[in-house]
């Protein structure tokens, strides 16, 4: 018999399936990790298929050396997913397999944790008076039944305990113990009766086979309760569940809610686990002891069989795109996994991505809506404040008079305020302080990015360069503003004005401190929390009545076709933090563009109007969902080789463009905005093609890259990249 093996080597030359002779005596099956001879070395590989004969010369085939683990590490579905990802995202098979096997599982350095328990091994004992500790230890055990050796050593001394073991008066037993991620948080267990909309959602989803659902529910509408109930129904049918959340909203509160509902059946996979915890949580899932996996993006690769439902919460979140190798879109992986398991997929959000909502409109996703907050309260009122008129009135500070007066009232009433600052586009755009003009690319209609090193403005979609502006072309003013205020500056200003505790959360704070800050803020009133997008999501604070959005425009000018969409999402998410319990909430949004449609739509909570307008813009400017953007990244330490390779690929794609001339919107090769990273020179080819023959064209582009790859240059292809740096 012949085994097809993928070798665990990260080189594109060996990215194929190799045939090996299957040793008859080792009981090797599909999914097993094995040791195989490869060149002069022994390396790891994975058996992905077993067949009768090979097309290769039988005398040249080598034999598998041995099987490495008691149980197969990969299931048939995982193997199918790996091939799917290779074909869909232009990845190497070895890379895809590694996604399913975290380093702690693969490298064998972390072991199971064994704890020694001690028991009494006799009915009667006679102990010399000279050994009082031994006697006490035995008395203690007689009363308690069993305890850990560590505990007994601590109480009565290791020498006494060892003596008792030697005399066989007590015996030892090693037991495997799980290292469980601790959760400082507990939330009160509420008895919740689903409202009619929630109950309907749960019923429709739970009786469905394979089907992607878009669950669009306003902030606080109880989407999480819907997820919990759908997962409960899946478990009742003996199935398992996967729930993905953005890393940032994987809050202790969220985890505590799941622990309340499911106890030890939940395993959590997130980036701040210790290696031991990750190892044990993974194994609890692999063995079936835990049946719900909850975690960030990579949790879609949890070792789950017989999946009954997959949830992608906050589906619009950027973190679902992997931007470093291996690059993939979590939605697509989740969708294929749901298809393989013939189960529903729930994509949940208050502000779905334009792409997802478009697919829902086209009927590819099924739309389910929750239109009311669970507490029956109105969504907070969003008031738009025009910052240009503030300047004209002589207020050049960070805060509008309107916001300051609201803040005063809020703090006087012993409530909490959150102040949101968007740092996404930090210092990367220019704006006229007089009229609000921001320079845009004439070809692409996205904001230009300011490059300090060569004093130019650049478009990140077409690489066109513009000179920086000494005066505003619109109003001729020379007061041009670069960039933005940061969180620290805001905190400083507030301290001068208010004598209440002020907390700050941004990327400079580490994960553990982050949880502490949230927790302390939660228990302090009056108080102010200042933060970046970190504070936008998921948090359920009861006492927040005021939300201030200091510089709403910042994400609007991000040089990205999704800038408006992100702005809409952020405003909705941040506003959703206010008024979540008894008191009403209020939002003040400061902008230099009070008339921009995104603010009008967001302040009316009118997703429909936003979507209509935005979709129209995308259509006329040729952006997704009407086109696919492809980026071929060509990287390497030797710039000449990179350029040669780039040119070959570019020429081949150009030929393709001639063949499919009506499908191509755009094709251009250029330096990446980040020209050199980690010693690698970075070049890219940007391609935009209409949605029509895109599957065919993309596969041809993959084939070109596959054919032209060399060992000294890395080629990555991204489909609809989120970031063009
Ligand atoms: P979302 O995920 O849509 O923002 P959550 O699921 O966090 O909303 O729910 C918001 C709050 O409302 C939570 O405190 C939750 O416990 C509560 N809640 C949800 N559904 C109900 C319900 N049917 N009855 C009462 N309270 C509910
Ligand atoms: Zn101007
Ligand atoms: Zn451009």
Q: What's the chain's length in residues?
A: 725
CA of 465 to the centre of ligand 3 (A): 9
User: What distance in Å separates the CA atoms of residue 140 and residue 382, rounded to the nearest whole number?
Assistant: 65
Intra-chain end-to-end CA distance of the chain, in Å: 49
Instruction: List Cα–Cα distances, 445 to 50, 558, 560, 622, in angstroms.
Output: 54, 12, 9, 11
pLDDT of residue 484: 57
By the CB criterion, residues less than 5 angstroms from ion ligand 2 are: 432, 434-435, 437, 472, 474-475, 477
pLDDT of residue 425: 38
What pLDDT band is residue 426 in, cutting at 50, 70 and 90? very low
User: What distance in Å separates the CA atoms of residue 166 and residue 716, rounded to the nearest whole number?
Assistant: 63
Q: Max alpha carbon distance in the chain (Å)?
A: 101
- Classify 87 in phi/psi space as left (phi over 0), alpha (psi -120 to 50) or beta: alpha
Element (H, E) at 85: helix 76-89
Protein residue with its CA nearest to atom 23 in ligand 1: 194
Residue-wise pLDDT for 380-396, tens only, equals: 999 999 988 887 887 87
User: What distance in Å separates the CA atoms of residue 353 and residue 347, rounded to the nearest whole number?
Assistant: 10
Site to substitute for ligand 1 among 225, 226, 245, 573, most atoms within 8 A of C-beta: 225
CA of 437 to the centre of ligand 2 (A): 5
pLDDT mean over 485-508: 84
CA of 223 to the centre of ligand 1 (A): 7
Residue-wise pLDDT for 352-377, tens only, equals: 999 999 999 999 999 999 999 888 88
Least confident of 14-23, 143-152, 189-198, 510-519: 510-519
**Mean pLDDT, the chain, as a whole number?**
88
Task: For residue 388, give the ligand nearest its CA.
Answer: 2
CA of 432 to the centre of ligand 2 (A): 5
Cis amide prior to 526 (ω within 30 degrees): yes
CA of 323 to the centre of ligand 3 (A): 22
Closest Cα partner for 3 from 71, 36, 49, 59? 49
Specify the higher pLDDT residue, 519 or 701: 701
**Which residues contact residue 154 at a Cβ distance below 8 angstroms, ignoring those fewer than 6 apart?**
none
What pLDDT band is residue 555 in, cutting at 50, 70 and 90? low
Closest Cα partner for 183 from 519, 477, 596? 519
Element (H, E) at 548: strand 544-549
Residue 496: pLDDT over 90: yes
> Of all atoms in ligand 1, which is nearest to the CA of residue 193?
23
Look up residue 15 and give its two tokens.
């990215």
Site to substitute for ligand 1 among 197, 220, 373, 585, most atoms within 8 A of C-beta: 220
CA of 552 to the centre of ligand 2 (A): 19
> Of all atoms in ligand 1, which is nearest to the CA of residue 226?
6
8-state DSSP, 26: G
Instruction: List Cα–Cα distances, 332 to 14, 193, 721, in angstroms.
Output: 26, 33, 14
Closest Cα partner for 390 from 540, 202, 274, 551? 551
3-state secondary structure (DSSP) of residue 634: strand
CA of 566 to the centre of ligand 2 (A): 25
For a pLDDT cut of 90, what percent of the chain falls above it?
51
pLDDT mean over 420-442: 72
Neighbours of 288 (CB within 10 A): 12
User: What distance in Å separates the CA atoms of residue 549 and residue 420, rounded to the nearest whole number?
Assistant: 5
User: What distance in Å separates the CA atoms of residue 682 and residue 634, rounded to the nearest whole number?
Assistant: 6
CA of 653 to the centre of ligand 2 (A): 42
Task: For residue 688, give the ligand nearest its CA.
Answer: 3
> Of all atoms in ligand 1, which is nearest to the CA of residue 195?
23
Residue-wise pLDDT for 650-667, tens only, equals: 999 999 999 999 999 999
Whether the CB-CB separation of 418 and 546 falls below 8 Å is answered with: yes
Task: For residue 215, give the ligand nearest its CA.
Answer: 1
CA of 260 to the centre of ligand 1 (A): 14
Cα 226–chain centre separation = 21
Element (H, E) at 172: strand 170-177
Instruction: At 431, give phi and psi (nearest 5°).
Output: -145, 140
CA of 559 to the centre of ligand 3 (A): 10
Closest Cα partner for 577 from 379, 423, 400? 379
Instruction: List Cα–Cα distances, 696 to 38, 86, 585, 646, in angstroms.
Output: 35, 16, 51, 22
Element (H, E) at 410: helix 401-412
CA of 15 to the centre of ligand 1 (A): 48
Protein residue with its CA nearest to atom 21 in ligand 1: 374
Protein residue with its CA nearest to atom 4 in ligand 1: 220
In sequence order, the β-bridge partners of residue 4 are 19, 49
Instruction: List Cα–Cα distances, 120 to 125, 142, 143, 157, in angstroms.
Output: 10, 7, 10, 17
CA of 447 to the centre of ligand 3 (A): 9
Instruction: At 292, give phi and psi (nearest 5°).
Output: -125, 125
Task: Of 123-137, 224-238, 390-404, 448-462, give the range with the top mean pLDDT.
Answer: 224-238
3-state secondary structure (DSSP) of residue 445: coil
Task: For residue 254, give the ligand nearest its CA.
Answer: 1
pLDDT mean over 494-504: 94
> Of all atoms in ligand 1, which is nearest to the CA of residue 219?
4
Least confident of 159-173, 220-234, 298-312, 318-332: 159-173
pLDDT of residue 442: 82
pLDDT of residue 515: 77
pLDDT of residue 59: 82
pLDDT of residue 488: 75
8-state DSSP, 14: G
Task: For residue 375, give the ligand nearest its CA.
Answer: 1
Neighbouring C-alpha atoms within 13 Å toward the C-beta of 125: 22
Protein residue with its CA nearest to atom 10 in ligand 1: 220
Cα 650–Cα 655–Cα 657 angle in degrees, nearest 5? 90
pLDDT of residue 235: 97
CA of 461 to the centre of ligand 2 (A): 25
Task: For residue 430, give the ligand nearest its CA.
Answer: 2
What pLDDT band is residue 122 in, cutting at 50, 70 and 90? confident
- Classify 213 in phi/psi space as left (phi over 0), alpha (psi -120 to 50) or beta: beta
Task: For residue 474, give the ligand nearest its CA.
Answer: 2
Task: For residue 592, give the ligand nearest its CA.
Answer: 2
Find tokens 């878009």 and name the residue.
214
pLDDT of residue 678: 74
Beta strands in 495-639 (DSSP E): 502-505, 527-531, 544-549, 586-591, 627-636
pLDDT of residue 423: 60
Residue-wise pLDDT for 243-279, tens only, equals: 999 876 666 778 888 988 999 899 988 877 888 888 9
> Of all atoms in ligand 1, which is nearest to the CA of residue 198?
23
Protein residue with its CA nearest to atom 11 in ligand 1: 220
CA of 473 to the centre of ligand 3 (A): 19
pLDDT of residue 427: 47
Look up residue 74 and give its two tokens.
């990969």
Residue-wise pLDDT for 106-116, tens only, equals: 877 778 788 88
Task: For residue 472, give the ligand nearest its CA.
Answer: 2
Instruction: List Cα–Cα distances, 166 to 150, 152, 174, in angstroms.
Output: 17, 15, 17
For a pLDDT cut of 70, what percent of the chain falls above it?
94
In sequence order, the β-bridge partners of residue 549 are 420, 589
> Of all atoms in ligand 1, which is nearest to the CA of residue 538?
4
Protein residue with its CA nearest to atom 20 in ligand 1: 222
Whether the CB-CB separation of 227 and 346 falls below 8 Å is answered with: yes
What pLDDT band is residue 430 in, cutting at 50, 70 and 90? confident
Protein residue with its CA nearest to atom 14 in ligand 1: 540
Whether the CB-CB separation of 13 and 711 falls below 8 Å is answered with: yes
Site to substitute for ligand 1 among 187, 200, 202, 224, most atoms within 8 A of C-beta: 224
User: What distance in Å separates the CA atoms of residue 348 and residue 370, rounded to the nearest whole number?
Assistant: 10
Protein residue with its CA nearest to atom 6 in ligand 1: 222
Task: Of 16-30, 123-137, 248-262, give the range with the top mean pLDDT.
Answer: 16-30
Specify the higher pLDDT residue, 227 or 471: 227
pLDDT of residue 597: 94
Look up residue 19 and give its two tokens.
């045939």
Protein residue with its CA nearest to atom 5 in ligand 1: 222
pLDDT mean over 338-345: 98
Beta strands in 398-479 (DSSP E): 416-420, 430-432, 449-451, 456-458, 465-467
8-state DSSP, 314: S
Pocket of ligand 1 (CB under 6 A): 190, 192-195, 198, 217, 219-225, 374-375, 540
8-state DSSP, 64: P
**Which residues contact residue 214 at a Cβ distance below 8 angstroms, ignoring those fewer than 6 apart?**
315, 347, 348, 349, 352, 356, 357, 359, 360, 365, 366, 367, 368
**Which residues contact residue 488 at a Cβ distance below 8 angstroms, ignoring those fewer than 6 apart?**
504
Whether the CB-CB separation of 559 and 439 falls below 8 Å is answered with: no
Look up residue 43 and give its two tokens.
């390396």
Protein residue with its CA nearest to atom 15 in ligand 1: 222
CB-neighbour burial class of residue 67 (10 A; exposed 0-12, middle 13-18, buried 19+): middle
Residue 452: pLDDT over 70: no
Closest Cα partner for 579 from 199, 218, 198? 218
User: What distance in Å separates the CA atoms of residue 178 and residue 500, rounded to the nearest whole number?
Assistant: 43
CA of 423 to the centre of ligand 2 (A): 23
Site to substitute for ligand 1 among 187, 374, 579, most atoms within 8 A of C-beta: 374
CA of 349 to the centre of ligand 1 (A): 14
Residue-wise pLDDT for 33-84, tens only, equals: 999 999 889 999 999 999 998 888 878 899 999 999 888 999 999 999 999 9
Neighbours of 340 (CB within 10 A): 17
What pLDDT band is residue 557 in, cutting at 50, 70 and 90? low
């Amino acid at each position: 018999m012949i085994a097809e093996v993928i070798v665990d080597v990260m080189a594109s030359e060996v990215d194929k399936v190799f045939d090996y002779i299957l040793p008859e005596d080792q009981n090797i099956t599909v999914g097993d990790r094995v040791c195989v001879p490869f060149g002069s070395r022994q390396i790891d590989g994975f058996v992905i298929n077993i067949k009768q004969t090979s097309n290769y010369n039988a005398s040249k085939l080598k034999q598998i050396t041995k099987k490495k683990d008691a149980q197969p590490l990969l299931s048939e579905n995982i193997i199918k997913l790996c091939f799917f990802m290779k074909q869909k995202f232009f990845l190497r098979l070895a890379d895809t397999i590694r996604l399913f096997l975290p380093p702690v599982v693969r490298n064998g350095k972390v072991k199971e944790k064994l704890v020694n328990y001690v028991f009494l091994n006799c009915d009667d004992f006679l102990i010399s008076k000279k050994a009082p500790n031994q006697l006490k230890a035995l008395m203690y055990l007689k009363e308690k039944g069993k305890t850990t050796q560590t505990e007994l050593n601590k109480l009565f001394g290791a020498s006494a305990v060892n003596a008792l073991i030697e005399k066989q008066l007590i015996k030892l037993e090693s037991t495997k113990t799980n290292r469980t991620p601790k959760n400082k948080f507990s939330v009160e267990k509420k008895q919740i009766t689903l409202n009619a909309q929630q109950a309907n959602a749960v019923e429709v989803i739970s009786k469905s086979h394979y089907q992607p659902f878009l669950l669009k529910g306003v902030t606080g509408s109880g989407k999480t309760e819907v997820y919990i109930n759908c997962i409960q129904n899946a478990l009742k049918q003996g199935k398992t569940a996967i729930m993905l959340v953005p890393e940032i909203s994987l809050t202790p509160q969220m985890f505590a809610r799941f622990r309340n509902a499911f106890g030890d059946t939940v395993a959590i996979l997130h980036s701040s686990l210790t290696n031991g915890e990750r190892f044990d949580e993974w194994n609890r899932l692999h063995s079936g002891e835990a049946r719900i996996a909850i975690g960030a993006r990579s949790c879609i690769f949890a070792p789950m069989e017989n999946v009954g439902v997959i949830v992608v919460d906050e589906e619009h979140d950027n973190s679902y795109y992997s931007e470093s190798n291996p690059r993939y879109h979590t939605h697509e992986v989740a969708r294929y996994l749901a298809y393989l398991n013939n189960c529903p997929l729930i994509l949940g959000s208050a502000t779905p991505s334009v792409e997802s909502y478009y697919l829902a409109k086209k009927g590819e996703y099924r739309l389910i809506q929750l239109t009311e907050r669970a507490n029956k309260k109105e969504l907070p009122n969003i008031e738009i404040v025009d910052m240009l008129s503030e300047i004209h009135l002589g207020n050049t500070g960070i805060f509008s008079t309107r916001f300051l007066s609201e803040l005063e009232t809020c703090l006087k009433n012993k409530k909490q305020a959150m102040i949101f600052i968007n740092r996404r586009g930090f210092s990367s755009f220019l704006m006229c302080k007089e009229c609000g003009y921001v320079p845009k690319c004439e070809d692409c209609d996205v904001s230009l990015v300011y490059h300090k090193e060569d004093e130019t403005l650049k478009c990140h979609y077409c690489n066109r360069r513009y000179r920086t502006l000494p005066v505003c072309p619109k109003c001729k003013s020379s007061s041009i503003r670069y960039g933005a205020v940061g969180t620290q500056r805001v905190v400083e200003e507030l301290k001068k004005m208010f004598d209440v505790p002020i907390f700050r959360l941004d990327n400079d704070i580490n994960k553990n401190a982050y949880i502490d800050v949230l927790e302390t803020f939660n228990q302090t009133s009056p108080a102010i929390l200042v933060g970046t997008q970190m504070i936008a999501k998921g948090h359920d604070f009861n006492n927040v009545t005021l939300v201030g959005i200091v510089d709403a425009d910042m994400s609007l000018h991000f040089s990205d076709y999704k800038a408006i969409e992100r702005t809409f999402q952020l405003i909705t998410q941040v506003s959703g933090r206010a008024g979540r319990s008894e008191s009403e909430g209020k939002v003040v949004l400061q902008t230099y563009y009070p008339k921009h449609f995104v603010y009008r739509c967001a302040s009316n909570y009118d997703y429909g109007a936003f979507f209509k307008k935005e979709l129209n813009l995308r259509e006329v400017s040729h952006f997704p969902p009407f086109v696919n953007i492809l980026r071929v990244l060509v990287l390497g330490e030797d710039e000449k080789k990179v350029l040669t390779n780039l040119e070959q690929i570019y020429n081949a794609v150009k030929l393709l463009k001639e063949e499919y001339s009506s499908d191509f919107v755009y094709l251009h090769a250029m330096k990446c905005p980040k020209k050199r990273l980690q010693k690698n020179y970075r070049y890219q080819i940007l391609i935009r093609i209409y949605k029509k023959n895109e599957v065919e064209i993309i596969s041809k582009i993959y084939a070109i890259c596959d054919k032209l790859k060399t060992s000294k240059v890395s080629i990555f292809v991204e489909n609809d990249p989120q970031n063009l740096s």
